[in-house]
Structure 1
Amino acid sequence: MKSCIFLLIGLFLSLGNGVVRPIKPGTQRRYICPPEFVRLGNGCYYLSSHISTWQDAHFSCKERNSTLLSLDTKWKDRTMRNYLNRAEFARLERWIGGLFDWSRQQWVWGAQGAPVSYLNFGQLAPVNAMNWHCIFMDPLQEYNWNHKLCVKRLHYICETSLTKVGSSKRHNPLRNVTTMTTATRNLS
């Protein structure tokens, strides 16, 4: 009876794209990050151990099938700031994916070219012109954002999506337990 219930629940939960795919009882979906990436929430993040210009950091992330970090939501920004503020991390300036598009006079996410809609700049350094400025997370401001010339060499943060891996059997502690009915039948 339990198997039928699990099968029906799995069948209803597996609806997607108009296709019904039965899910076997006791299976679960697993998601992983690439090597050297850390999982925070529903994303994977790489914190560089070396310094690069913003452009070199951009290409280094691409080589890892990722992009420079786009902090496009308050939750994502707060999660990364909390992570970087942990005691075990050195307080380093780290490039993220934002840069100033001087032709449009606005901040954009470099990998997508999309305007930065969520902003979390701290106290900004005075500057005469924004040309060739990129966004970094500033440890002197609790990792709020700041900007500087993109040719400066800083550590950086890449991001990529979680990767779905094959289903695996969930551990069922009752799997090897013999039921009373089965035990009684075996004694007869």
Structure 2
Amino acid sequence: MKTALLILLMFCLAEADDIRWEFQQFKTQLEEQHAAKFSDLASRLTVSETKITEQKHKADQLQSSNEQFQDKLNLLTKQQDCLKRKLCEQDGFTYGDGLCYYISTETKTWDESRQWCRDRHSDLVIIKSKEKEDLVVSFNKPVWLGLTDKVTEGIFQWVDGTPLTTPTYWRRGQPGFETSEHPNTGSDCVDYYDGSQPGYPTIGWSDAPCSDTLYWMCERSLC
């Protein structure tokens, strides 16, 4: 009986050793697998961080280049504006909004005013935007505009040959066309009226006789 128990105990101890050995082997295997995965993840992380560092460096270089380019562009823009201003000022014109402008200090008829402009490679001002209208208004003078219906009564045309389109800035009661009751008024030229005359407070465009003498405004392109 004792011998059988001893044999059984020895058998159990041997089985326990086998289990212990298998467990150790399994543990070692798991550690090796996790170590490999950890090493792989660490390697991939290092590569990723290296790429991020390289991209940040490139981004910093690009930002620096962009700032340098913007500085050069700003400098060139200032130089260009300076040259345009000087080109305008050679003939007493003023540079603004990409064009050269001249506001007279004396008065002439519409035709005389236009000829004065054309003698200086320009023409009477053309208004096709609110910004241009605001520019004319800012001078606070009644001036001739480059607009007329000389060719066909009631059909206005700019001096560059284009027809009048919106926006328009006629003052109240204008334009005044010739009629059977009021023929030959001669109001074929358009001026900007500044509301300075007593009894006529509203400002805007007026259809006036071309023989009137007013200030004028010339403009010319730099190109």
Which residue number in structure 1 is paired with residue 45 of structure 2?
A: none
User: Matches of 1:42 and 1:94 in 2, distance apart?
Assistant: 21
Higher relative contact order (CA 8 A, sep 6+): 1
Residues 153 and 27 of structure 1: CA distance in aligned 2, closer, same or farther (over 3 Å): closer
Contact map agreement 2:124 2:219 (CA 8 A) in 1? yes
Report which of the two has the higher share of helix. Answer: 2
C-alpha RMSD of the superposition = 3.1
Which residue number in structure 1 is paired with residue 133 of structure 2?
A: 77
User: Matches of 1:24 and 1:38 in 2, distance apart?
Assistant: 24
Shift of 1:100: 1.0
SS across alignment from 2:192: strand
* 1:1-188 equivalence runs, <5 A: 5=65, 9=69, 27-28=76-77, 29-30=79-80, 31-32=84-85, 33-35=88-90, 36-81=92-137, 83-85=138-140, 92-103=141-152, 105-110=154-159, 112-117=160-165, 118-124=167-173, 128-129=182-183, 131=186, 133-140=188-195, 143-162=203-222
**Sequence identity, in percent?**
20
TM-score when normalising by structure 2: 0.53
- List alignment gaps of at least 5 residues for structure 1: 11-22, 86-91, 164-188
1:160-181 per-position Cα deviation (integer Å, ceiling 9, x unaligned) = 1247xxxxxxxxxxxxxxxxxx
User: Matches of 2:202 and 2:101 in 1, distance apart?
Assistant: 19
SS across alignment from 2:113: helix
Shift of 1:142: 6.0
- List alignment gaps of at least 5 residues for structure 2: 1-60, 196-200
Which structure has the larger Rg over C-alpha atoms?
A: 2
1:33-59 per-position Cα deviation (integer Å, ceiling 9, x unaligned) = 234222332222111111111111111
